[in-house]
Every structure is written in structure tokens, then in C-alpha cells.
Structure 1
């Protein structure tokens, strides 16, 4: 469905009000831009046809001017030969050509005024189109920003983030346990009675082996 019915509707349109009433501003601005572009193409095509018509009429005016001059010469020739009747007929034809030239001149003047109006309309349409495209960029930026903020909030408040932090906490607890176990293995507490007696026995055995070694060395020395 067309948003605008005429070129003047586009130029008189309040884009802000139009977008405020729209349920989907992004879609509305795309439709507005599309229709403005199509209208601009149509206006330029009409202007091109008018320019072509004006050029054709000017060429016809030049031809009629030559025809008028020709009938003037013929009238003068007929009059010089005493043929007043032919001179009069030639002047009538000259008048017809002159009237046609004046008619074309009036039409060209109308076309020139129309072209001025087209030129003004094209300039205004281009201005409106620039405004619409600027609004489209602003709307796109706002939508993109809103989507980004929504994703960020979803990430901060969503279950995926909570699950990730839960995993972090579990890994931290495992790391704490591993570190505690390593520290525990390196600890040395007070020896039990059995451990102390075993140490004494081991020490006694070492002393005996030391005395035996000393005796062997003494015997070798003798």
C-alpha cells in the first residue's frame, strides 16, 4: 500500500510524526525511502520527457521561421510580377506558419516553467530522501545498540553465566583441596612411641656397624 499519493505529499510529510505512528519504524522508514526513490525516478523521467519535447518544439520553430521567410519571398516575387492574388495567398500561408510558431513558443514557455517546477521538486525530494536515509541510519544504530544491550543483560542475568560461575567455584574448590593435600603431605608431626623405639634400634645397629668397622681397620694397622 502506498504511503504517499503525490510528490507534494512526500515534501509535506513529517517523517517524525509518521515514524511515531508506525508499529514498526524500521520497516516504515524502508518503505518511505523506497517510495521516495521511485517518485524521484518518475519525476526525473517526466522532466527528461519535457526537455525532449521542448527541444523538438524549438527545432520546429526554427523550421517554421524558415517557412515564414520563404513565404515572404514568394509573396514579394508574386507582387513584383503583378500577381497580387498569389502574393495574398503567400501571405496567408506565411501567417499560418507564424501562428504555428507562436503557438509552439507558448508551449515551450509552459514547458520551461514546468521544468523549473520539476527542478524545485527534485531538489526537495532529494532533501527529504537524505533526511529519510539519515533517520534510517539513526534507527538502525538504535536497534543495533538495543540488541547489543539486551544480549549483554541476558548474558549477565542468564543461566549460562550462572552455570559458568558455578563451574569456576567448583574448580576453585578442587584446587583448594589439591593444595591442602600437598601441604598435608609435607607436614611432620610428633613421633609415636613405636617410631622412637624403632629409631633407637636403628641407631644402635648403626653404632655396632661403626665399632666393627673401627676394629677391622685397627687389625689391618697391626
Structure 2
């Protein structure tokens, strides 16, 4: 394959991919339905034109029959009056009307099948459009439901972009919370140990240390008393 052929294939593939990404199935279905409706309307207009021609032929045939009948009547009247010349003229008029009648009959015979075909085609096209309309609505509903399901799934799994970084954000926040909790615990221990001082505590460092020792001593004394009170006395043998 030549380089130009490969470029043409690549361009066609890229164009097809771009058109596919831009194409909305719902809009495509609606557009196809509108085109079918337009085709049906065109068919109805053609049918109306042909039917109008058919009716016109029927009217012209009626006029030709009236001319034939009138010519025959005129010929009889002329013969009764012994006017062969007028009778001949009336009969010539009758022949012309008969020729005209035959031409109209041929035209009517030619157009009648066309009318029947157009009527049948219009009926079939209307049925097809109605079937397509039903299928279109079903397909649009199915596509919309599937599209919604895809969007929800993308949101839940993070593929859609809206919640794509939510999991990472939660992990980062959790790490910060744990880090802040550890820092708070450490500072609490340091405050208790006297490493950090309370700025609202106006005691001196030595006073605070003595208070800690007193509290520790009080706890030790209370613990010794508790142990003494719970010690069982073993009776002598």
C-alpha cells in the first residue's frame, strides 16, 4: 500500500472515531425518524398529485361522453330535418369525441396502477414508520438507562472523574488526622511531664515539680493502703 493510501486510511479511521464520539444515539434516532416522516410527506404529496390527475381524467372522460351523446342527438335531429350535411358534421364531431375518449381511457389505464402502487407504498411506509417510532422510543429509553448506569458506576469506581480522587483524598485526610492525633498525644505527655508548660500556669518550675511529686506520693500512699486493706491474714495452725 502506498504512503498516500495509508494516510487516507488513517484519516478515515480518525474521522470515523471522532464522528462516533460526537454522535448521540438519541439524536441519531430522532433524525432518522424525522427523515422518514419527511419521506412519508413527500409520498403523500406525490400520491395527491397523481390522484388529482386521475380525477381530472375522469372529469374529462365524462365531458367526452357528454359530447358523444350530444353529437349523436344532433345527428338524429339533422337526419329528421333531412339535413345530411348537419348530420355528417355531427357524426364527425362524434368521431373526434370518441378519439378523445379513447386517449383519455388509455391515460387513465396507465395512471390507475400508479395510484394503486403509491397507495400501497404510502400504507407500508406509514406502518414502517410507526414500527420505527416504537423501536426508537424503546431504544432511547434503554440507552438512557444504560447511560445512567454507566455514569453511576463510573462515579462509584472513580472512572468518571467526579469521584476519581475521592479515595486518595480520604487517605490523605486520614493520614493527617492520625498525624495530628499523635502530635496531640505527644504534646499532652510532654505537658504532663513538664517538658512543655502551660502559659496560664503562674507556678514556678520548682513548684510544679513539687506538685507532681506530691501527687505521685499521694498515689503511692493510697495504693499501699489499698493493698494493706485487702491482704488476707492467714490464721496459725
* TM-fit CA distance, 1:89: 1.7
* TM-superposed deviation, 1:88: 1.5
Residue in structure 1 matched with residue 154 of structure 2 by the alignment: 154
- Report deviation, 1:98: 2.1
* 1:78 matched to 2:78: yes
Change (3 A) 1:99 1:25: farther
Partner-residue secondary structure (3-state), 1:111? helix
- Show the counterpart of 2:230: none
Change over 3 Å in CA distance of 1:168–1:96 after alignment to 2: farther
Structure 1 CA distance for aligned equivalents of residues 141 and 56 of structure 2: 50
Q: Name the SS of the counterpart of 2:48 in structure 1.
A: helix
- Corresponding residue SS for 2:82: coil
Aligned-pair distance for 1:138? 3.6
Cα distance, 1:160–1:148 mapped onto 2, change above 3 Å? farther
Q: By how many angstroms is 1:145 displaced?
A: 2.5
Output one character per residue of 1:11-46: Cα deviation in whole Å (capped at 9) or x when no partner: xxxxxxxxxxx9558255444323221111111001
Q: Partner of 2:132 in structure 1?
A: 132
Deviation at residue 166 of structure 1 after TM alignment: 5.8
The secondary structure found in structure 2 opposite 1:82 is coil
Instruction: In structure 1, list runs of 5 or more residues that go unmatched.
Output: 1-21, 174-190, 198-222
RMSD over aligned Cα atoms: 3.6
Is residue 2:109 matched to residue 1:109? yes
Task: Check conservation: 1:68, 1:98, Cα contact below 8 A.
Answer: yes
Which whole-Å CA distance do the structure 2 matches of 1:91 and 1:30 have between them?
64
User: Which structure has more RCO (C-alpha within 8 Å, separation ≥ 6)?
Assistant: 1
Q: CA deviation at 1:84?
A: 1.7
Matched residues in 2 for 1:88 and 1:25: separation?
77
For 1:77 and 1:156, locate their aligned partners in 2 and report how far apart those are by CA, in whole Å: 101
- Output aligned runs, 1:11-50, within 5 Å: 23=20, 24=23, 26=25, 28-50=28-50
Q: Check 1:101–1:168 CA distance in 2 against 1; reply closer, same or farther (3 A cut).
A: farther
In the other structure, the counterpart of 1:177 is none
Partner of 2:123 in structure 1? 123
Q: Which runs of 5+ in 2 are unaligned?
A: 1-18, 159-163, 179-214, 222-237
Deviation at 1:112, TM superposition (A): 2.5
What is the Cα deviation at residue 137 of structure 1?
Answer: 2.4
- Within 1, Cα distance between the matches of 2:219 and 2:24? 86
Runs of 4+ residues deviating >6 angstroms: 167-170
Deviations 1:133-174 (A, max 9, x none): 23422432333133212211222122355368669979x99x
Q: Which moved more, 1:114-123 or 1:98-107?
A: 98-107
- Separation in structure 2 between the aligned mates of residue 151 and residue 121 of structure 1, nearest angstrom: 43
